[in-house]
Structure 1
Amino acid sequence: MPATLLVNIDVDDIDAAESFYARAFGLTLGRRLGPEVVELLGAGAPIYLLAKPAGTRACDGSAQRRDYRRHWTPVHLDFVVEDIEAALGRALEAGASLEGGIRDHDWGRIASLADPFGHGLCLLQFKGRGYDALVEA
């Protein structure tokens, strides 16, 4: 049986994060799992916002501390949208920061952003065959 994907995002303000992801991407509250966990639905996988104060240890055995300034990680979220300009407008209005303009590719368009908690994310609008355009027919 294949694994099930759940997305977890550490944030320092769970109410602000819930508002951001709802306003920016149209996600809806699934349920609150206590005061420190919010489940959001409407993406391809459930997204769990986890209240983790800045400065706390990232995990047992790690010296790294949580920092919600803009940071880079090799794992990020891509939100596939039908209208990238409209989606970008909603994300910026909700508090995202644009990191460069919308870029065009054979497969579609992409915009790189950061959420208000320092996490990178992208908006993708596929055209034609989408990523299949990268594979020779």
Structure 2
Amino acid sequence: MDFLVNVDVEDLDKAIGFYGSAFGLKIGRRFGEFAVEMLGASTPIYLLAKSPGTPAAETTDQRRSYGRHWTPVHLDFVVADIELAVRRAVSAGAVLETPVAVHEWGKLAVMADPFGHGFCLIQFLGRGYDQIAE
């Protein structure tokens, strides 16, 4: 099974700039004016232009909103130097919501992209999650 990540954004050019600057991703393919494939992570990330206020799906009354919002699914980017990655993401337009915290397994920074999507930066230390696995 392949795994793809799709991220709705209100401004495709702004999203390409952010994900390129913050994470070093590069455009793989464009799909007209409405989508772009970003490469450079362990899986492709597809940025999908979706207007604010449009229905999220036919089966819900929820509308797309690009103000900060919460969802139980988010992206985690594993980085080698979290302090550098935080500076790079913030300079590209991200918001640092929780400063870097050190845990037994590694370091974690909770952030949001310019489109309101939460994401985390993680720097594993020692054995990473294996440090706390049973």
Q: TM-score band (shorter)? A: over 0.9
- Equivalence for 1:27: 25
Alignment match, 1:122 = 120
Task: Determine helix, strand or coil for the equivalent of 1:72.
Answer: coil
Report the alpha carbon displacement of residue 44 of structure 1 after superposing the two structures with TM: 1.2
Does 1:39 find its partner at 2:37? yes
Aligned residue for 2:111?
113
SS at match of 2:98: coil
Aligned to 1:87: 85
Cα drift, residue 62 of structure 1: 1.4
Corresponding residue number in structure 1 for 2:51: 53
- What CA distance in whole angstroms lies between the structure 1 residues aligned with 2:3 and 2:132? 25
Distance in 2 separating the partners of 1:128 and 1:100: 22
In structure 2, distance between residues paired with 1:127 and 1:63 = 43
Q: TM-score w.r.t. structure 1 length?
A: 0.96
Deviations 1:10-51 (A, max 9, x none): 000000001000000001110101110010001111000000
Aligned counterparts of 2:81 and 2:46: Cα–Cα separation in 1: 25
In the alignment, residue 15 of structure 1 is paired with which amino acid?
D
Unaligned runs of 5+ in 1: none
* Paired position in structure 1 for 2:4: 6
- Alpha-carbon distance, 1:61 to partner: 2.0
What residue ranges of structure 2 are gaps of 5+ in the alignment? none
Can you list the C-alpha shifts for 1:71-119, whole angstroms capped at 9, x where unaligned? Answer: 0000000000000011000000000000021000011100000000000
**What is the letter of the counterpart of residue 70 of structure 1?**
R
Structure 1 outlier segments of 4+, above 2 Å: none
Equivalent position SS for 2:86: helix
1:15 is matched with 13
Partners of 1:45 and 1:34 lie apart in 2 by 21
**Residue in 2 that maps onto 1:99:** 97
